[in-house]
Amino acid sequence: MKTQEKMLVDKTTIRVRFSEVDTMKIVWHGEYIKYFEDGRESFGKAYDLGYLDVYDRGYMIPLVSIKCDYKRPLKYGESAIVETHFIDCEAAKIKFEYFIYRESNNELVATGESVQVFLNKDYELMLTMPSFFVEWKKRWDLKYF
């Protein structure tokens, strides 16, 4: 985990559904990316940085990079905790780190990270932080704005 002066973290619980597993009743690897999405959505609700909050301010935030490291399998019927960490940076990006733990024993099952960029509604890449994002960072007492 990267260190920073102020850490914004959200935790959400997911339950593994039948449609998310393979014939061995183990979560298919692509589902972890969806679990990261669940983490981003939960973070957005907790910290007023949801997709619609961004869109209503005239921007979109597509993913440009995502990584997942698998540690242990999750199985059908298990619950997991998706812990999402906002990584503060100087660039006009939104960066997250993810930690997924098996709820029953707190065992780490996967880690990951993602990067999103800002596009205006004309699909143009924003090279500087939108003013609402600068204000959002100030609100949460982050270092880089």
pLDDT of residue 145: 80
**Over 68-95, what HEC string results?**
EEECCCCECCCEEEEEEEEECCCCCEEE
Distances (CA, A) of 91 to 3, 6, 129: 17, 17, 7
d(CA 81, CA 119): 31
Q: Look at residue 114 and give its three-state secondary structure.
A: strand
Assess contact for 118 and 126: CB atoms under 8 A. Answer: yes
CATH 3.30.1490.190, applies to 8-139: no
Query: Can you give the residue ranges of every domain in the chain?
Result: 8-139
Q: For the chain, 145 residues long, give each residue's pLDDT as a single digit of tens.
A: 444 456 899 999 999 999 999 999 999 999 999 999 999 999 999 999 999 999 999 999 999 999 999 999 999 999 999 999 999 999 999 999 999 999 999 999 999 999 999 999 999 999 999 999 999 999 999 999 8
Length of the chain: 145
pLDDT of residue 56: 96
pLDDT of residue 72: 97
d(CA 102, CA 136): 32
pLDDT of residue 5: 59
